[in-house]
Amino acid sequence: MTLADERRDEVVGNAGADGADLPGADPAPLARGAGTGRPGPAHAALKERWFACSNALGWSVASEWPDPTVDEVCDAVLSGRVGPPLERAMTRWAGARAAAGIGLDETLSDLAALHTAVSGALGALGERRRLGLPGAEGSRLVRVVSLGWTDVACGDLSEAAALDPLSGLASARYLRTRLAEVYRAARAHGTSVGDAYALVVVTLQVAGWSRVAPLTVTGDAAAVVFDAGETIAVVGRSTVVVLAPREGLAARVRVLRGMLARRLAGASGVTGSPSARIVPLPATLDAVGDTLAKLRDAEPAVPRRDRILGFDVPVIAPEGDLADPAD
Task: Look at residues 140, 158, 176 and tell me which one is the last residue of a structural domain.
Answer: 158
129 lies in a domain? yes
| Alpha-carbon span 44 to 29, nearest angstrom | 12
Asked if 106 and 55 count as a contact pair (C-beta separation under 8 A), the reply is no
Average pLDDT over residues 302-310: 40
In the structure, what pLDDT confidence band is assigned to residue 198 with cuts at 50, 70 and 90?
very high
When mean pLDDT is compared across 91-95, 141-145, 149-153, the lowest value belongs to: 149-153
CB 267 within 8 A of CB 206: no
With contact defined as beta carbons under 8 Å apart, do 293 and 321 qualify?
A: no
Greater confidence, 73 or 28?
73
Q: Are residues 151 and 219 in the same domain?
A: no
Whether the per-residue pLDDT at 164 is higher than 90: the answer is no
**Pair (8, 109) in one structural domain:** yes
Domain boundary among 141, 158, 175: 158
Residue finishing a domain among 138, 158, 178: 158
Which burial class, exposed, middle or buried, applies to 278 when counting CB atoms under 10 A from its CB (0-12, 13-18, 19+)? Answer: buried
pLDDT tens sequence across 98-139: 888 899 999 999 998 888 888 764 444 444 444 544 445 567
Residue 321 lies in a domain: no
Q: If you average pLDDT over residues 212-223, what whole number do you get?
A: 88
pLDDT at 152: 79
Kindly give the residue spans of alpha helices, DSSP state H, lying in 57-204: 68-78, 84-99, 104-119, 135-159, 172-189, 193-196
Which CATH number do you get for residue 190? 3.30.70.270
Residue 322 lies in a domain: no
pTM of the model: 0.49
- Report which secondary-structure segment, H or E, holds 245: strand 239-245
DSSP label at residue 286: G
Range of the domain at 288: 162-297
pLDDT category at 83 given cuts 50, 70, 90 is confident
In terms of domains, do 126 and 236 share one?
A: no
Count structural domains, the chain.
2
Q: Are residues 152 and 102 in the same domain?
A: yes
Looking at residue 9, what is its pLDDT? 42
